[in-house]
Each structure stands twice: as structure tokens, then as C-alpha cells.
A and B are shown apart, each in its own frame.
Chain A
């Protein structure tokens, strides 16, 4: 601040010497400081830049702990939210044989030391494992740091093991898939094996259900407590989605139970039952006889692991007559009272003969009568008014020949050959469901279409998959397609009301309070050589209730029954299942009398 005055310089030699010495000292100080700074800078660059990567890695390894954040497989729920499949905690008990040498613990304040054998016995008791196997695993290779003692013990066993406090035993988290309802809907839910999803919805919706484990690292203090703010998520865990099905598990149980009882009673090889909600095509129950218990897959025959209702196509027989009749009415080629003179058999000019199931004198039947008595001859007279091409197109529109929208694993397309490949006899037999094959769900879909005023709704087994972040995927289509006119569909349902009081189901105890429209089917089973097997049938009943305001469709089929081989044998199962369905859903009983379209003229 003060300028150097000229007089100051003249203060003497003494002052100049002091100034030089000061400068020298300042220079030395400057050099020393610079050297120090240079050393620090070099060291800093060395640490921060040159060795940064390896030092950081060392540091992370020393300070931070990496842990797995679990993203478990999602649940499968029924229509009411009841769990059909869930992931549960299990623990694998592992140990380090190298350190395995008994342990010391405090009992009543006194220190007690157990031998290895005693320890293993305690572990076996706690986990339900086998002590001999464990002892062997621990003593075979004493240098090993890892051996599996027991796999998949539950939380209680885990708690008991932890309580023992053995330092060389390490429980590891594992998960298991559990199916609380066992074989109820086991055919649909499927199961998960050691290699992942194996069957059913578990397999089909594996992408929805599978979760992804993530990981995070954190630093912890000497006492193991997480240092605040040190958590770094290295990989985000994603929990599996929740699959919501349309299945009603209680109804499914009862349907399976009724079906199994009847399969046994009829001595059938197998049976299926399908319950469809008319308004939206939801499958509320799909039962297969002897379906798998996903908790214990090995107990079930491999042939029964899937759902035959989806995977097995069969020649449906007379239930197809309802579809033929609807096509005829829709095309304006017939009415419920169309007349036909129906003998017992019909021989065609090309040489083949078709006949009705039982002998009857020549009758004058209406279309309603033909359906009620299920006359093959009768439907052939009315059905020939329509060209093969047109009938083929109607069958396609009803969903025959293409697997349903459910797209169940292994689902069959059924067999609908192109009409140009039909021979003259097949042209007639397709009218009553021979020479063509469908799955049980396809057949049920025909009746859903008729019950829904001619609009076919895409069949669905799954409502949606809700992912962990709330997004919904896999929601099925809700768009129906009109197959036949409302009038045609309603006429057919009205005609089918004759089946129980005066047709092929005459004698079946009616379902009290409800008008039920139904159609039976008895179809021969093609054998290995391409010819029909003698005396082997698939019998079925498909029905709609209440007939005047259709709510539910039930289809039951039995393959190769041995004690009773007519379609009437399927009636008790149909009755039990249909009444259970109506009761379960509190369907309002019919208030109108049965529509009675005359059977004869």
C-alpha cells in the first residue's frame, strides 16, 4: 500500500543485505513448496487416475457387501383371487466340512460341547433330514468348504437350525412353488420342474410369471450395520407378474369330483367337463379326469399331465347337429318346423348307408324332432339342402379346425379337412359330427355361440397378467364375431329344450326350476388302423341353462365308457355339474314354461 520512497533505499548497506537474504529465503521456500506440491500432485494423479480402477475395485471389495435382491415368481389366482400357485420360502442347509467338528453352546448358562455325531443328529432332528447321509457328506472330504446337507426345508426347520447356532452351517435362501389346491385345476395351472415351467399356464405364461433377481451393494460397519446412504442398486429386482385366471376353484373342485365319480362309475378311460360363461366366453371350469397334483407330479401318469379338454380332439358326433341346424336356419334353408320323412336307415346312390342309433319305424319329424331324437337320417335329408362349401364355412366360423384363442400348451386344432377333400359319405357324416374332430373346448364354444344369440366370444382362460409395476399384459380379446343370426341361434336353443323332456335325455331328472337346452352325442372312436373301433364311443352331453336367458354352457364327455355306452350315460354328470354351476352363480330360476316346438307333423 505504501509506495517505496526513494529515501528508503538510502537507508544503508545493511538494509540491502537484509533484502537479499529475504529474497533468497523466499525463493528457497517457494522451491520447497513447489517440490512438495509436485510430489503430492504426482501422487494424486497416480492414485486418482493411474491406479484408480484397481484401487476402487480393492476398496469396493474391502468395504462393500453385495447382496441378492429377490424377484420371486408371481402367483396364479383364480377368478375370485384365491391362490392356485404361489412361491414359498425354503432354505437349503449347507455346511463347510472343513470346519465341521461339533460345536459348543450354552445350555442353562453352562457351556456344553457336542461331538460331530451329536451335532449331526441335532441337525437331522431339526430339519427332518437323514443323519447318516449328513454325516457322510460332512466327513467325506474334510478339505471342502461346501456341502449340501438338506434341500428345501421350511421356515420352521430353518428357525430350528438357526437356533442351534452352529457356526459352520449356512442356510441359504431358496424358493419353491406350491399349489395349495393340489389337483384342483392342476390340469390347467400346470407345474414348474427343476428346469423351469413344464406345463399348463405356468408354461404358457412363463414370461409373465417369471421374476428377475437383482443385486445391490452396500457398505457396512464393523458390527455389520449398513452404513447409511451407501446402498447402490447394481441390478434392479423385478418380481414376477400375477396371473389372473377365469377359473372358479370351488366350482372346479366340484366339477372334477363329479367327473371323476362318473368316470369311475362308467368305467371310462377318461372324461372332460367344460363350463363356459355365455356372455364373455370365460372358461370357469375345465375338468379332466385324474388330473395332476402339481405338488406331486410323479404320482400322475404322464398321459394325464396336461388338459385333454384342450389337447385331445375327438369326433364329437351328434352334438354337431345343433351347429348344422343353426347353419341351415341362418341360411334360410330350414325352420324349426321344417318337415322330413325319416326312415330308420338311408342308403345313398353311391352305395353307402347311414342309420340312426336305434331302430324306429319311418317317422314324420320336424327339425326340432330330428334334433331331439338325434336322427342321423333326418339331419342328412335337411342338411343336403346346403352346399358342402357353405357348411364348411359355417363350421370354420364356429371355430372348428382352429385351436381356440386360449392357445393352451399342446392345444389341438381338431380336424376339419377342406370340403373339396370330403368324399360323398363324409359330406353327410360331417352333418352329425363324424369325419370331423374337435376338442372339448371347441365343442363347448359352439354352444356358447348358440347361447349367446349367434355371437361367438373368444374363449378365455386368463383375465390378465398384472406385472409388478402395475401394467397389464396378456388381456384377451373381448371382440365377438357373429356366426349366425340371433333368430337362428335362439331357434336352435328353443329346439334343444325338447331333448330332456321328450328326446334323447328323456328320463333324466330335470334340474328343478330351470329350463335346460341340451344335445347329446355318441360318436365312434377311430382306431389305429383308421377304422372305427367296434363298441368304443365318446359320449357327451352339451347343455345351456337357463334356456330362455342363457348364462352357462356345460359340456361333459366320456371316452370309451365300458358299463353303459349310450349318451344317456353322460346325463347324471351333466345334471350334477349344471345344477352346481347354477347354484354357484345364483342363476335366477326360469319363470317361463319350456318352449315346446312340435317334434312331428
Chain B
């Protein structure tokens, strides 16, 4: 009921302007009256423009909000990725450091000696182009004494050297505890076990049978 009433109201208000202009026209007839032309009336601001502008503003604000949310969501992703990068960098650096020590000439020489390898100072070359052999193939002489490594490398303390058992198989043997061991024996062993090569890092020597 009230709805009907509400609907009726605009109709009555709409009817009003038609009567009111007539009254004012009569009052202001003289001396001169500017009559707006059709085109001028057309040029007047229309409500639709205001609506479009406001709507555009809202769209703009919403988009900005959306972008802002997306960016800050990205920030979390960046943050977590950077964190994992730091951890991975750290790990990579740790293993590079270990690898550098394992790849040192001293470690290689120690292991080669432990496996009973000797230097052959009579190299022989084969020139594939001319099929020529240079040099006289000679078996390596067994050194009178096992050459020991004379070049210090304190980083190799505690790095195990492979050992050769009588049956020809090879097993990595553990060497002395690192010299940097402290009074807390357990801690030192723990530290050396992970900061230097574990036996799993050693190259397995080929078995000779």
C-alpha cells in the first residue's frame, strides 16, 4: 500500500514542473527572456556523465586495491623464496667448501698412495694422426719407500683416507680426530663428522679381481 503511495508521489512531483514554468514564464515575460535552444539544452551536463565518472573512479579504486593485494601477496612469496635461497646458498657453499678440500692434490695423492698407486715417470704418447708411439713404455718402478705427502694441508685433518684390505676390496678408514677438538669430546666428533667429508663422500675405488 505504501508502495503504491510512494510510486504515486514522483508522478505528482513530475507534474509540478509543467505548471510551475508556466507561472514563472508569465512573471518574467518582460523585458527579455533567453530561450534555451534545443542544442543548448542538449549541451547541459547530464546525470549519465556523472554516473560514468563516479563509476570509473570506483573501478579505479577497486583495481588499485586489487593490485595492491596482489603485490603484497607477491611480497610474501618473494620473502619466502629469498629465505629459501639463503638456505640453499648456505648449503651450496658448505658443500663447495667440502668439495674443494676433497679435490685438493694432497687428498688425491694420499688416497692414490693408500691404494698402492705409484707414479710412472716414463710417459708414452700415441699420435693418432701419424699412428706413432713416442717414448718407450716402461713399467713404473716400485718406490723403495712409500712416498708420503710432504705438503701440509690442515683442512685435511680428520678427512678419512681410503684403505686397502688384503682381499683387494677397499674400505674407507677413519683417521684421527681433528686437531681442533675441544674438551667436549662428543661435540668435537659431531662437528668433525659433518664439517668434513664423511665416508659416503669418498670415491669408491674400483675393485680388482
On A, residues with C-beta under 8 Å from B are: 5, 82-83, 86, 88-89, 124-132, 154-157, 178-184, 186, 225-229, 249-250, 253-254, 256-257, 260-261, 264, 291, 293, 295-296, 299-300, 512-513, 576, 579-580, 582-583, 586, 588-589
Chain A, Cβ-Cβ closest to B97 = A88
Q: Considering the complex, which residues of chain B in the window 89-148 have a beta carbon less than 8 Å from any beta carbon of chain A?
A: 90-91, 93-94, 96-97, 100-101, 103-106, 109, 121-123, 125, 127, 134-136, 138, 147
Majority-rule SS of B interface residues: helix
A-B contact pairs, 7 of them (CB 8 A): A124-B187, A127-B187, A154-B195, A178-B155, A180-B97, A181-B100, A226-B79
Query: Given the complex of chains A and B, what is the CA–CA distance between A502 and B134 in angstroms?
Result: 24
Contact A125 B186, beta carbon cutoff 8 Å: yes
Apart from A88-B97, A132-B183, A295-B155: 20 A-B pairs, beta carbons within 8 A: A125-B187, A127-B191, A129-B187, A156-B94, A157-B191, A180-B97, A180-B100, A180-B155, A181-B106, A181-B153, A225-B76, A226-B79, A227-B75, A253-B151, A257-B109, A293-B153, A296-B152, A513-B125, A513-B135, A589-B134
> Please, how many angstroms separate the alpha-carbon atoms of A130 and B182 in the complex?
7
Q: Given the known A-B contacts A156-B195, A182-B106, A184-B106, are A512 and B122 also in contact in the complex, defined by CB atoms under 8 Å?
A: yes
**Quick one: given A588-B125, A589-B125, A589-B134, are A184 and B155 in contact (CB under 8 Å)?**
no
- Chain A residue at minimum C-beta to C-beta distance from B135: A513
Q: Is the CB of A183 within 8 A of B105?
A: no
Find out whether the CB atom of A131 lies under 8 angstroms from the CB atom of B151: no
Q: How far is the CA of A127 from the CA of B180 in the complex (A)?
A: 12
Q: How far is the CA of A583 from the CA of B123 in the complex (A)?
A: 7
Distance between Cα atoms of A311 and B177 in the complex (Å)? 37
Q: Which of A126, A180, A182, A186 has the most CB of B within 10 A?
A: A180
How many contacts A-B (CB < 8 Å)? 148
**Min distance, Cβ A97 to any Cβ of chain B, angstroms:** 21
Which residue of chain A has its CB nearest to the CB of B90? A155
* Least CB separation from A587: chain B residue: B125
Q: Which residues of A are found within 8 Å of B3, using beta-carbon distances? A: none
In the complex, are the beta carbons of B191 and A156 less than 8 A apart?
yes
Chain B contacts with A in 72-96, Cβ cutoff 8 A: 72, 74-76, 78-79, 90-91, 93-94, 96
Residues of B within 8 A of A186 (CB): 152
On whether the beta carbons of B101 and A5 are closer than 8 Å, the reply is no
Chain A contacts of B59 at CB under 8 A? none
Residues of B within 8 A of A249 (CB): 105
In the assembled complex, B205 has its CB within 8 A of some CB on chain A: no
B residues with a Cβ closer than 8 A to A are 28, 71-72, 74-76, 78-79, 90-91, 93-94, 96-97, 100-101, 103-106, 109, 121-123, 125, 127, 134-136, 138, 147, 149-156, 180-184, 186-188, 190-191, 194-195
With a 10 A CB-CB cut-off, give which of A124, A128, A156 has the most chain B CB atoms.
A128
User: Would you give the shortest CB distance from A591 to chain B, in whole angstroms?
Assistant: 8
Contacts of B127 in A (CB 8 A): 588
Q: Is the CB of A125 within 8 A of B190?
A: yes
A293 to B155, CA, bound (A): 10
**Of residues B97, B104, B105, B191, which shows the largest number of chain A Cβ atoms within 10 Å of its Cβ?**
B105
Q: Contacts A156-B94, A183-B151, A183-B153 known; A86 to B76 CB distance under 8 Å? A: no
Q: Please measure, in the bound complex, the distance between the C-alpha atom of A291 and the C-alpha atom of B79, giving whole angstroms.
A: 47
| Chain A residues with CB below 8 A from B100, complex form | 83, 86, 178, 180-181
A325 to B119, CA, bound (A): 38
Contact B182 A256 (CB under 8 A): no
Which of A89, A128, A254, A582 contacts B184, CB < 8 Å? A128
Counting chain B CB atoms within 10 Å of each CB, which of A86, A257, A296, A299 scores highest?
A257
Q: Which residue of A lies closest to B105 (CB)?
A: A253
**B181 cross-chain contacts in A, Cβ below 8 A:** 128
Tell me whether A182 and B156 are in contact in the complex, defined as CB-CB below 8 angstroms, given that A124-B184, A125-B186, A253-B106 are known contacts: yes
CA distance A81 to B103 in the complex (A): 13
